[in-house]
Amino acid sequence: MKKMMPWLATILLAITLIVVVVFVFMQGQVGNKAEKDVASAAEVKKMTADEIVEVTSEITDIKTNLADTNHIVQVNLAFKMADAAAKEDFEKIKEITVKPIIVQTFADAQPEELKTAKGRSQFNEKLTKLINEALPEPKLSSTNFTYFLMASM
């Protein structure tokens, strides 16, 4: 046993050194990613109120059932487009293409999914993705609730 002690100490020291090196390396990677995120956020230009209105479209007064047919929702949604030309195209097809996608997406949603802010945010991301797939040119930046009412029947 006395002959094995130096070997065990050396192995434990080597493993500890490897773990420390990996930990330091991973921390460096996380720091670089955070710095890149801050830099990219600084590059994003803040829009004025007029610019936001210029690229935003609304669909109001959607009433539909959820997957649990004992619950209904009434919502208004705002859609932020990449540019004014995309908004014009969106306006032309929102009633015939976008509104059915919204109704179908709500038909698949459970009430529990929409009770929290996180759930609503995930729903908006899903809706943005589905609508972008249906648009001739996917230029929808974001979808947001401007009014949300969920009730049980």
- Determine whether 66 is exposed, middle or buried from the number of CB atoms within 10 Å of its CB (0-12, 13-18, 19+): buried
Which residues lie across from 76 on neighbouring strands?
Answer: 147
Per-residue pLDDT of the chain (153 residues; tens, 9 = 90+): 677 888 888 888 889 889 888 888 777 766 555 555 544 544 456 888 998 999 999 999 999 999 988 999 999 999 999 999 999 999 999 999 999 999 999 999 999 999 999 999 999 999 999 999 988 888 899 999 999 999 998
- Please report, for residues 21, 27, 142, the alpha-carbon distance to residue 124 in angstroms, rounded to integers and kept in the order given: 41, 33, 8
In this prediction, residue 1 carries a pLDDT of 65
Give the model's pLDDT for residue 123: 95
Q: Determine the pLDDT at residue 4.
A: 81
